[in-house]
Amino acid sequence: MAGGILLRLQFKLGDEPPPSLPSDGRKLPSKIHQRTRSDHASEVAEDYVEAIADAIDQHGVCRAVDLVKHFAVTHATVNNTIKRLERDGLVTTAPYQPVELTAAGSRLASQSRRRHEVVEAFLKKLGVSDQTAAIDSEGIEHHVSKETLGAMKRVLEQGWPE
Amino acid sequence: MAGGILLRLQFKLGDEPPPSLPSDGRKLPSKIHQRTRSDHASEVAEDYVEAIADAIDQHGVCRAVDLVKHFAVTHATVNNTIKRLERDGLVTTAPYQPVELTAAGSRLASQSRRRHEVVEAFLKKLGVSDQTAAIDSEGIEHHVSKETLGAMKRVLEQGWPE
DNA sequence: ACTGAAACTTAGCCCCGGCTAACTTAAGAC
DNA sequence: GTCTTAAGTTAGCCGGGGCTAAGTTTCAGT
Ligand SMILES: [Mn+2]
Ligand SMILES: [Mn+2]
Ligand SMILES: [Mn+2]
Ligand SMILES: [Mn+2]
């Protein structure tokens, strides 16, 4: 039995290609772009649950037409996207009814909103206009790692480094 | 005659939904997301010309296989992408030959590289690890406006604000 | 000159996230 | 109660950017 477990461990370790950690300083470009692609794969879901949560906070309910206006896309596009969100367990819907967030959707919305707020506030603190901070943060937020988010929070709470 | 011109102006003004400029402080969410989508539309081209320029600088030439390794995608994907770049006037190719940059491609590569460098250096100055700066900047770079890029440059050259 | 391996190409498939057009449903005005 | 209209749905299309599998070309080593 223990042998079986050991075998699994060995396989897992051997699976990691070249450890990359004891690097000679060279970059690992491949992994970098994989992360960017993975960020983009979750981006629409994050923006939608955030918008849905906002609409519910402001109007008590989120209708598809709210998302149509928010994202400046067509009703058909919103419908398709909501179907994917439902498939992925983030929202529930019924025909002609408002969109509801699942527990998972609600959690993702809170996290996304918090991260978005931090990034936007950080850009403002950097000195860019409110308008630019709003625009740039909408894309940047999805590529900000925990570590970078922490650095931005630190600046907001404790001022600039050094 | 003056009446005709006035009419045109009135129509144009009436056409813009609510002007948004003399705003009461409310956001214009739709335009924000349009910008993010437009950023993504040029993202792959920017990363490719940058990678092609790097390969040429380092090996004198850029082969498709270099891009396969750099982006961790298949040869087929690189081929498809290169075709789009050629269609868009950024590269030239011939069968089984290295990829060459057009003047436009070269220009875009320089701009993208410079912007990427600034973003990555800024993140490092913020205090995140080299590895995180490399990863996060790869996605962030495409969403950084001129204004935000300027703010980052200022920090790198003149230190933190306040 | 031959041959095997690496590089490249092509065909065909997939999902995502946009769109238009046509239709259906739900609700409020009357 | 009807009817208008806004909201929602559905079908079908497109391009982007991934993939696999199978075939072709180039080139180095012998
Ligand atoms: Mn957001
Ligand atoms: Mn966003
Ligand atoms: Mn992005
Ligand atoms: Mn990039």
Residue A118: per-residue pLDDT:
98
Residue A27: per-residue pLDDT:
60
Q: Which stretch of DSSP H or E encloses residue B92?
A: strand B91-92
Q: How far is A14 from chain B (nearest CA, A)?
A: 20
Residue A29: per-residue pLDDT:
72
Model confidence at B66: pLDDT above 50: yes
SS3 A96: coil
Place of tokens 């460098």: B117
**Which carries the bigger pLDDT value, residue A16 or residue B50?**
B50
Token pair belonging to B31: 């335009």
Model confidence at B18: pLDDT above 60: no
pLDDT per residue rounded down to tens, chain A (162 residues): 332 322 232 222 222 333 333 343 356 677 999 999 999 999 999 999 999 999 999 999 999 999 999 999 999 999 999 999 999 999 999 999 999 999 999 999 999 999 999 999 999 999 999 999 999 999 999 999 999 999 999 999 999 998
Closest of B96, B100, B98, B122 to residue B109, by C-alpha? B100
A118/A106 Cα distance (integer angstroms): 18
CB contact under 8 A, A70 and B34: no
CB contact under 8 A, B145 and A135: yes
Nearest Cβ partner of A126 from B72, B129, B151? Answer: B151
Other beta carbons within 10 Å of A57: 11
Mean pLDDT over the full length of chain B: 86
CB contact under 8 A, A30 and B147: no
Residues of A in contact with B154 (CB under 8 A): 127
Per-residue CA distances from B39 to A133, B106, B139, B145 (Å): 15, 19, 10, 10
Model confidence at B65: pLDDT above 90: yes
User: Would you list the DSSP string of A136-155?
Assistant: HHHHHGGG--HHHHHHHHHH
Q: Which residues of A touch B (CB under 8 A)?
A: 27, 29-36, 39-40, 47, 51, 69-72, 123, 125-129, 132, 134-136, 138-140, 142-145, 147-148, 151-152, 154-155, 159-162
B47/B49 Cα distance (integer angstroms): 6
Judge whether residue A73 contacts strand C, using its CB and a 7 Å cut-off.
yes
* Longest CA–CA separation in chain A, Å: 63
Closest of A112, A116, A31 to residue B143, by C-alpha? A116
Give yes or no for a contact between A61 and A100, defined as CB atoms under 8 angstroms apart. Answer: no
Place of tokens 């009135």: B10
B92/B10 Cα distance (integer angstroms): 48
Give yes or no for a contact between B152 and B119, defined as CB atoms under 8 angstroms apart. Answer: yes
SS3 B10: helix
Could you tell me the distance in Å between the CA of residue A20 and the C1' of nucleotide C27?
A: 62
Question: What secondary structure letter does DSSP report for A89?
Answer: T
Token pair belonging to B88: 């868009």
In this prediction the pTM is 0.86
Amino acid, single-letter form, for residue B41? A
Per-residue CA distances from B125 to A139, A148, A161, B100 (Å): 21, 11, 8, 35
Q: What value, to the nearest 5°, has the Cα angle with vertex A119 and ends B38 and B154?
A: 85
Residue B7: per-residue pLDDT:
25
**pLDDT, tens digit (0-9, with 9 covering 90-100), for B85-126:** 999 999 999 999 999 999 999 999 999 999 999 999 999 999
> In sequence order, what are the beta bridge partners of B100?
B92
CB contact under 8 A, A132 and B147: yes
The nucleotide whose C1' lies nearest the CA of B61 is C7
Place of tokens 């204004």: B147
Domains of chain A: residue spans and CATH: 2-34 (no CATH), 36-158 (1.10.10.10)
Q: Is A99 exposed, middle or buried (0-12, 13-18, 19+ CB in 10 A)?
A: buried
* Residue B24's pLDDT band (cuts 50, 70, 90): very low
Residue B2: per-residue pLDDT:
33
